[in-house]
Amino acid sequence: MTEPLPIVEMRDISIEFPGVKALDGVDFRLFQGEVHALMGENGAGKSTLIKALTGVYKIDGGSIIVAGQERQFHGTRDAQSAGVSTVYQEVNLVTNLSIGENVMLGHEIRGTFGVNWRATHAAATDALAKLGLEYLDTHKPLSTLSIAMQQLVAISRAMAVKAKVLILDEPTSSLDAAEVEGLFAVMRTLRDQGVAILFVSHFLDQIYAISDRLTILRNGRYEGEYLTRDLDRHALISKMIGKDLGALSSLGGNRRVEQRDYDAEAPLLAAKGLGRQGSIEPTDLDIHTGEVVGFAGLLGSGRTELARLLYGADRAGEGELTLHGKRVDLKNPADGLGKRIAFSTENRRDEGIVADLTVRENMILAIQAERGWARPIPRKEQDELVEKYITALNVRPADPNRLIKNLSGGNQQKVLLGRWLATKPELLILDEPTRGIDVGAKAEIQEAVAQLAEDGVSVVFISSELEEVVRLSERIVVLKDHQKIGEIVNGPGVTAQQIVDVIAAHGVAAAAESDIIDAEADVEPSNDPDTAHTPASAEEES
């Protein structure tokens, strides 16, 4: 292969945070007209490397060469004007402005009388059209869009800037399969136009579907650069985690062999006609002690809304809720917490972590709130609690005094899980606990959920990954269009495909079609729902 000059070359990059070496002598090359995947576990340094390239972090050692010139970017703006655009995992747009403005902010088309809004919105529509989103009304506020749609708008924005280097940091973590296909089509078009694309994703299937070349990082070190077609999945995962992964595939699965007698035991929590206008239709639902109930449905199907009612994050408008056979009215989260119900949000950054507090402070937040501020938790007890959950959940780095914002997404999620476990809940509601986190951390969280149920905690598990729901849940509640449309008692024969069929059978043909595409992607890696999702399928195929 002839080796033209790379458009981006990073040599021997080192970055240190107080106490940790986030990157240690990492090399990275990116060529024009390729899709280059950056691989590694959470905390391996992928995000740090990207932030070094885009000028968010200052590098402590090494050099960055863009288009033949050594550069030191001071901030995103600098990087953008040199043609390096980034779409981050957490959508970085402003929800108070319109869709069109978000695409064009800073690049509005100007005429004699200042910004020409007609032309600007037209240009925004053009940029959106490249992703097949020309049907969006660019005048509507961005906040009217789902997170998935916002992500696509963010990508449109990067394209509107005419980037030479496009960095996509986990762009697909909140997209459904059809949207991912759309995105890939756009990525291929851009690649053929000579754009260099740096792509980060935790979905191995996506890596193999789209990338030409990949660089692997492990623990902040450079592990190697390979052509994607030369490296099979097993080898890739082994290089990422640095060990074999037989242990990961054995969890879950066996739980639902023993069938529960649902009529015999009284449910822990029972909802009758529970609903709230405009967010979820009246719903009946029982949750038993020590049971994992999965909520399956697409983004916006009402699964989060239902969960919020169960916790008291929103107050139910109608219907009743009984807990231990007694009627309860959850007016606010404190009520839910007082009744030993915990809710971990899907919106990790805005509603979950408190970025500027340490791991310790984040972890004791809920239990402290429960006890009341007048009774501070003694430092010794704090230390014990935090120590216990850091070890149990394998939080890395295992330093309770790190600021949580410096942890990777997966480890932040573990801290949040620890926060709620510390309150010793009887019912734990986990909304998308594994979104955007890597294979290893995902398996660890799944393992923790299975163990919790074993210990008698009831869990509501919400995930867009049907595979995962099927693997963990005893019962699966299927939601669509803000209502419960079915309930499946899980068993060895149940597959993700069945859930999809339930969703697809309910409603119009057009909607059903896109759901099926979604399902195929979800189901494809393995037909046996008893085995772990990605690691296992990787083994089978190798």
Q: Which residues would be at the binding site for another protein (CB under 8 A)?
A: 56, 75-77, 79-81, 86, 88, 92-98, 101, 105-106, 108, 110, 113-115, 117, 137, 139-141, 157, 161, 277-279
Least separation in angstroms between CB 156 and another protein? 13
Q: Residue 66: name the closest of 1, 142, 152, 163 by CA.
A: 163
534-541 and 439-454 are packed helices; what angle lies between their axes, rounded to 10 degrees?
120
| Residue 141 vs 397, nearer CB to another protein | 141
**Least distance in angstroms from the C-beta of 344 to another protein:** 22
| Residue position matching structure tokens 């109930």 | 293
Nearest to 105 by CA among 85, 90, 131, 89: 85
State in angstroms the smallest separation of the CB of 111 from another protein: 9
Neighbours of 133 (CB within 10 A): 22
Q: What are phi and psi of 447, to 5 degrees?
A: -60, -45
Measured from the CB atom, the residue of 97 and 178 that comes closer to another protein is 97
> Three-state SS across 203-221?
CHHHHHHHCCEEEEEECCE
Least separation in angstroms between residue 85's CB and another protein is 8
Of 48 and 98, CB closest to another protein: 98
Q: Which is nearer to another protein, 317 or 397 (CB)?
A: 317
Determine contact, residues 130/50, Cβ cutoff 8 Å. no
Nearer to another protein, 25 or 317 (CB): 317
Least Å distance, CB 290 to another protein, is: 35
Which residues contact residue 185 at a Cβ distance below 8 angstroms, ignoring those fewer than 6 apart? none
Minimal distance in Å, beta carbon 437 to another protein? 21
Amino acid symbol at 506: H
Nearer to another protein, 139 or 371 (CB): 139
Q: Look at residue 125 and give its three-state secondary structure.
A: helix
CA 336 to chain centre: 25
Residue 366 CB, shortest distance to another protein, in Å, is 25
Q: Between 100 and 400, name the residue whose CB sits nearer to another protein.
A: 100
Query: Closest separation between CB of residue 49 and another protein, Å?
Result: 16
Q: Among 181, 158, 168, which Cα is nearest to 36's?
A: 168
Cβ 145 to another protein, closest distance in Å? 14
Which residue type occupies 29?
Answer: R
CA distance linking residue 67 with residue 85, whole number of Å: 14
Closest CB to another protein among residues 80, 464: 80
Residue 235 in tokens: 């080898």
Residue closer to another protein, measured from CB, 167 or 216? 167
SS3 state of residue 74: coil
Give the residue from 182, 195, 210, 172 showing the smallest Cα distance to 85: 195
Q: How far is the CB of 106 from another protein (least distance, A)?
A: 5
Q: What is the distance between the alpha carbons of residues 464 and 436, in angstroms, rounded to a whole number?
A: 11
DSSP one-letter code for 349: I
Judged by beta carbon, residue 33 or residue 317, the one nearer another protein is 317
| Dist. CA 202–CA 435, nearest whole Å | 9
Q: Which residue has the tokens 């038993």?
A: 288
